[in-house]
Amino acid sequence: MAQTAASILVVDDEAEIRHVLRVLLESEGFSVTEAASGEEALARFTPDTDLVILDVRMPGISGYQVCLRLRERWNVPILFLTAKTQDSDLTMGFSAGGDDYLAKPFSYPELMARVKGLLRRYHVYKGKPDEENDPYIERHGLRLNCARNEVWQAGRELNLTEKEYRLLRLMLLHRGKLFSAQNLYESVWEEPYLPASSNTVMVHIRKLREKVERDPKHPEVIQTVWGKGYRIG
């Protein structure tokens, strides 16, 4: 069966947790790749990965940041491992693009129910993206070429900085999704979010609007949801 050949990336800074997950998953016939950090996870992820089991809190790049990075391009299901089930943690995980969560300590039946459910929905309803064959995103009169990092509007190429391009690409790939300033900062700048970081995001959004909006003072492309964040409809 297809599920027995599924490739799963397990990401946790605790070796014991990774070992337990490997033993349980391989006993069901899954192929397991381990990563001990967020950086290692991004390096070991491949387009053939069918599921990512991702610890929320790790030194360096957090699980949230890894999830945001993966969501820029891939719709692979992501199962968060968390020692907490507080609403704030769950909200942040789902906002970053996570599909489900599993609280530590977990049982074998709980793990398998989550894993098999996510894999089943992924293969039946989602499938994998075909960006290699269709690298263009078009919306609001903008044409973004993901393969060449170019943005065009009305036949004119826009001169965007790297950060402006990444902000626009992230929001266009997830149209309708509301991104908090923290979501955007950790994904685009790839650094821990600090109180002053919201100003950095705000300035870059303002400059981006000056380039993509007909009237930057009354934006139609990049919408602000006051007190919550930004989105492209």
- The top-scoring range by mean pLDDT among 90-99, 112-121, 194-203 is 194-203
Residue 1 has pLDDT above 60, yes or no: no
> Kind of pairing, strands 31-35 and 7-11?
parallel
For residue 134, the model assigns a pLDDT of 52
The span from the CA of 3 to the CA of 120, in Å, is 8
- For residues 16 and 20, give the distance between their C-alpha atoms in angstroms, rounded to a whole number: 6
Q: Is the pLDDT of residue 209 over 90?
A: yes
CA distance 26 to 3: 12
Contact between 139 and 175 (Cβ < 8 Å)? yes
Looking at residue 91, its pLDDT comes to 66
The backbone torsions φ and ψ at residue 30, rounded to the nearest 5 degrees and listed phi first, read -80, 150
Q: How many CB atoms lie within 10 A of CB 64?
A: 26
Give the range among 18-22, 167-171, 173-177 with minimum mean pLDDT: 173-177
pLDDT value, residue 131: 42
Overall average pLDDT of the 102-122 stretch? 86
Say how far apart CA 165 and CA 41 lie, in whole Å. Answer: 24
| Residue 125 clears pLDDT 80, i.e. is over it | no
| pLDDT the model gives residue 101 | 83
**pLDDT interval class at 132 (50, 70, 90):** very low
Quote helix, strand, coil % in the chain, to nearest 5. Answer: 40, 20, 40
